[in-house]
Amino acid sequence: MSEKSMITLKIDGIQVSVSEGTTILKAAKDNGILIPTLCDLEGLTPYGGCRLCLVEVTGSPKLFPACATPANLGMEVTTNSERLKNYRKMTIQMLMAERVHMCAVCVANDHCELQALANQLGVNHVEFERNFTREPIDSSHDFLVIDRNRCILCTRCVRVCDKIEGVHTLDLKKRSKDTEVIMDLDESWGNSCSCTGCRKCAKVCPVGAIYIEGESITQTKHRDVAEFITARRNSK
Amino acid sequence: MDNNDNSSSISNSKVFEKKIVINPVTRIEGHAQIDILLNEDNSVKEALFKVTDFRGFEKFTEGRPYYEMPAITSRSCGICPVSHILASAKACDAIVGVTPPKTAVMLRRLMHMGQLIQSHALNFFHLSSPDLLFGFDSDPAKRNVFGLIEKHPDFAVQGVKLRRFGQEIIEKVAGKRVHSSEWVQPGGVKWPLTRERVEYLQGELPKASEITKNTLTMFKQIVNNFEDEVENFGNFPSYYMGLVNSDGGLEHYDGKLRIMDKDGNAVAECTDALKYQEYIGEAVEPYTFMKFPYFKKAGYTDGAYRVGPLARLNVASHCGTPLADEEIKEFKKLGKNGIVHSTFHYHYARLIETLFCIENAKKLLEDPEILSENVTSRAMVNNYEGVGIAEAPRGTLIHHYKVDTEGMITWNNMIIATEHNNIAYNKAITQVAKKYVKTQQLQEGMLNRVEAVIRAFDPCLSCATHAVGQMTLDIKLFDTKGTLLDRQSR
């Protein structure tokens, strides 16, 4: 990698220096400021899908997804205003309402990023009418299971399958709230001829949508997935 | 809840009767009302136990993977989630078709002992003992667990301690006190028990044992004050059902399902859980959401049977632990051929079982194999149908699942302990009402006894129908035309 020049910007009033091209999310994280996100995972291409990392940039009325916006020289970023907090709470509630999120009986209970974020942001109820979907569960694979009712469409699985494993078994079909993660050309998982069974999709899933049958979630996510993916990516 | 609506079908169809409604019945797990139908001369014609709520676990679990069932079904109850977890896990074991390792079975049994201890302590000390210590005619404002703490603080503390011990067993074994479903999985359990935890529980055992022995002694003394109640509290012959082990001894986790008649003859023994429907039929009545299981050979309603502590001690020949064996011998002397019919003695049986559970927990904890780390047999779906039977604190619990080739639930039937006793409830409250209700005016003592007989069974209606809501007591008295004559609320 070529040497990049350093730039300086302000995040929440703190002066920080990062190399050029760094995203606001990464710049903040490297300086101890955590911006909530569900779709972003270090080592994967930014997606900007969950909208939880939206930040304010002085001088612009727009909000910017911190995961997909590069830090610029002299930028003044606010990550935690009241407006942003409210937006984030609402986003979490909309994610909860869109499909079925019943923590008590979910495989990812206590190890779920959506649940943790809801707790952290103080989301203790959902104002919107819940849309209880009844998508059939695909358990046709030998050990990988997808319960699309729990999917938040962060596409981490799609990206890890494409960019890291390099097989692109997973992709999306349909649009908006009807969007679904599919295997190959909408095959059942057991019939997918490209899936290598590498389990990365289960490891990166922030919720309990993709999991390994018969394995507890702690076993599935037993080490820092981001570190592992970054290492794989850098070795390419 | 609109009580008038609920009872209208009966009051319209039987306009010549008067009716007393106790709604809801208090100090039980869940919601129910009791309708007492009077004849023209104000004598009691019949009493009906009506369960008024519905939740529908059997429907909404369709399409879920079988291995989620322990977690989902355990949510039907916060009192005996362990029993649901175990019955469900056993049904899942049957679906994957493997035998869990010995240590896994021991650990599941140990967890179940904790469940039985805590639930029995809850019923005896928190729910039932106010009736026994204050008497049925005492002031209802005092006749509850708070009155108990005020008047008999030491006794109340004993109850809390015993229950805590039961909860601690569950927590040490499975990680959480309530809904510890993450630990159990088809084919065994997820993690083994540590030596520190075994030693901790062993240290707590003697205290729990002492409390139980003292309570048994106390119960045997005060039971003499309740001769009338023993005689009239659902004291009628019926069939009894419960699990027994290969020796015919007391069993709560596995074994064969034995049905015994009123004279102590084993009329049926179901060794293959999948065939339980050959022995048990389920009838439905329009006035309640709770089904009426019955012994098929005898038909509905002659095939009324009871389950729970009383039934388990009736069907078992012995307990299998020294102290409990002594107690069961004494217990069996209360009835002809060792069969005790009085529902009042559920309390007695519950205490004997608690003693057995403590002794059995001790035995399990002393076995070095409890520390083995081989606790899971792994397998995929091999059978498309599975039945799990376990003895919950309140009686036999049956989970029956059918799955598709991928292991998704296509059909689910749960028969809850409380349901088995349904016909017996009506018989018992009718008997009590006939004895004590003799007037159009509502009197504290008579209604208390009607309520208390239900409490003796220790029903768990949140399990049986999966109900939610507020708990108050609303008693209504109607005349022949359905006009409200008297009403008391508390």
Q: At what angle are helices B422-436 and B444-457 packed, to 10 degrees? A: 160
Whether A1 maps to a domain, the answer reads no
Q: Chain B residue with minimal CA distance to A145?
A: B65
Nearest to A105 among B75, B406, B407 (CB): B75
Overall average pLDDT of the A30-35 stretch: 94
- CA–CA gap between residue B350 and residue B120 (Å, rounded): 6
Contact A214 B185 (CB under 8 A): yes
Q: What is the DSSP letter of B277?
A: G
Q: Are residues A109 and A206 in the same domain?
A: yes
Q: With contact defined as beta carbons under 8 Å apart, do B119 and B400 qualify?
A: no
Nearest to B71 among A105, A134, A216 (CB): A105
Q: Are residues A127 and A228 in the same domain?
A: yes
Beta pairing, strands A54-57 & A76-78: antiparallel
Q: Are residues A56 and A145 in the same domain?
A: no
For chain A, the average pLDDT equals: 91
Interfacial residues of B (vs A; Cβ cutoff 8 Å): 63-65, 67-68, 71-72, 75, 179, 182, 185-186, 190, 378, 380, 406-408
Q: What is the DSSP letter of A216?
A: -
Interface of A with B in 184-223 (CB under 8 A): 213-214, 216
- Distance, first Cα to last Cα, chain A: 12
The domain boundary, picked from A80, A108, A130, lies at A80
Q: Are residues A75 and A91 in the same domain?
A: no
To the nearest whole angstrom, how far is the Cα of A117 from the nearest Cα of chain B? 22
The half-sphere exposure of B338 on its side-chain side, counting CA atoms within 13 A, is 15
Ranges of chain B with pLDDT below 50: 1-15, 465-475, 489-490
Partnered with residue B390 across adjacent β-strands are: B397
To the nearest whole angstrom, how far is the Cα of B63 from the nearest Cα of chain A? 7
Mutate to test the interface with B, among A105, A110, A130 (most CBs of B within 10 A): A105
Whether A222 maps to a domain, the answer reads yes
Nearest to A139 among B75, B182, B407 (CB): B407
Sheet with B395-403, side-by-side order of all strands: B385-392, B395-403, B409-415
Residues on chain A touching B382 (C-beta within 8 angstroms): none
Whether ipTM tops 0.85, in short, is no
- CA–CA gap between residue B85 and residue B83 (Å, rounded): 5
To the nearest whole angstrom, how far is the Cα of B72 from the nearest Cα of chain A? 6
Q: How many residues does chain B have?
A: 490
Contact B179 A104 (CB under 8 A): yes
pLDDT at B438: 72
Q: Does A134 touch chain B (CB under 8 A)?
A: yes
Q: Are residues A13 and A73 in the same domain?
A: yes
Phi, psi at B324, each rounded to 5°: -65, -35
To the nearest whole angstrom, how far is the Cα of A140 from the nearest Cα of chain B? 6
pLDDT at B445: 73
CA distances from B439 to A229, B363, B434 (A): 79, 54, 11
Interface of A with B in 54-73 (CB under 8 A): none
- CA–CA gap between residue B307 and residue B192 (Å, rounded): 32
pLDDT at B30: 63
Q: Are residues A211 and A120 in the same domain?
A: yes
To the nearest whole angstrom, how far is the Cα of A139 from the nearest Cα of chain B? 6
Contact B64 A140 (CB under 8 A): no
Amino acid sitting at position B381: V
CB atoms within 10 A of CB B160: 15
To the nearest whole angstrom, how far is the Cα of B187 from the nearest Cα of chain A? 10
Contact A213 B406 (CB under 8 A): no
pLDDT at B1: 34
Residues on chain B touching A216 (C-beta within 8 angstroms): 182, 190
Q: Chain B residue with minimal CA distance to A134?
A: B63
- CA–CA gap between residue B254 and residue B270 (Å, rounded): 12
CB pairs under 8 A between A and B: 34
Q: How many domains does chain A have?
A: 2
Q: What is the CATH number of the domain that holds A192?
A: 3.30.70.20
- CA–CA gap between residue A18 and residue A15 (Å, rounded): 10
Nearest to B190 among A140, A145, A216 (CB): A216
By residue range, what is the domain housing residue A219? 86-235
pLDDT at B3: 39
- CA–CA gap between residue B403 and residue A139 (Å, rounded): 12
- CA–CA gap between residue B377 and residue B340 (Å, rounded): 41
Nearest to A105 among B72, B378, B407 (CB): B72
Q: Does A109 touch chain B (CB under 8 A)?
A: yes
Contact A137 B65 (CB under 8 A): yes
Q: Are residues A121 and A221 in the same domain?
A: yes
Q: At what angle are helices B102-121 and B346-366 packed, to 10 degrees? A: 150
Question: Which conformational region is residue B98 in: left (phi greater than 0), alpha (psi within -120 to 50 degrees), or beta?
Answer: beta
Amino acid sitting at position A109: N
Nearest to B75 among A104, A109, A136 (CB): A104
- CA–CA gap between residue A178 and residue B80 (Å, rounded): 39
Alpha carbon B406 to chain centroid, angstroms: 34
CA distances from B87 to A118, B132, B141, B283 (A): 33, 33, 39, 22
Whether A164 maps to a domain, the answer reads yes
Amino acid sitting at position B57: F
Q: With contact defined as beta carbons under 8 Å apart, do B35 and B10 qualify?
A: yes
pLDDT at A188: 96
Q: Are residues A72 and A181 in the same domain?
A: no
Residues on chain B touching A104 (C-beta within 8 angstroms): 71, 75, 179
CB atoms within 10 A of CB A126: 15
**Cis, bond preceding B194 (omega within 30 deg of 0):** no
Amino acid sitting at position A111: H
To the nearest whole angstrom, how far is the Cα of B393 from the nearest Cα of chain A? 23
Question: Which residues, 6 or more positions from B252, have their beta carbon under 8 angstroms from its beta carbon?
Answer: B109, B112, B113, B116, B243, B312, B390, B391
Q: Which one is predicted more confidently, A144 or B143?
A: A144
- CA–CA gap between residue B307 and residue B309 (Å, rounded): 7
Nearest to B63 among A107, A136, A214 (CB): A136
Decide: pTM greater than 0.95: no
E strand or H helix at B258: strand B256-260
Q: Are residues A35 and A102 in the same domain?
A: no
Question: Which conformational region is residue B81 in: left (phi greater than 0), alpha (psi within -120 to 50 degrees), or beta?
Answer: alpha
Contact A145 B65 (CB under 8 A): yes
Partnered with residue A57 across adjacent β-strands are: A77
Q: B213 is written with which tokens?
A: 């022995």
Q: A214 is written with which tokens?
A: 């018969």
| Nearest Cα to Cα of residue B242 among B307, B161, B324 | B307
pLDDT per position as a tens digit, A33-84: 999 999 999 889 999 999 999 999 999 999 999 999 999 999 999 999 999 9
Contact B64 A216 (CB under 8 A): no
| Nearest Cα to Cα of residue B252 among B86, B72, B420 | B86
Mutate to test the interface with A, among B180, B190, B406 (most CBs of A within 10 A): B406
The domain boundary, picked from A80, A97, A123, lies at A80
Angle value at C-alpha B188, between B183 and B193, nearest 5 degrees:
60
Q: With contact defined as beta carbons under 8 Å apart, do B455 and B128 qualify?
A: yes
The string over B290-323, giving b where at least 16 C-beta atoms fall within 10 Å of a residue's C-beta and e elsewhere, is bbbbbbbebebeebbbbbbbbbbbbbbebbbbeb
Q: Chain B residue with minimal CA distance to A135?
A: B63
Contact B63 A137 (CB under 8 A): yes
Where are the domains positioned within chain B? Answer: 3-54+436-489
Q: Are residues A62 and A134 in the same domain?
A: no
Q: A70 is written with which tokens?
A: 């590069």
Residues on chain A touching B378 (C-beta within 8 angstroms): 214
pLDDT at B358: 97
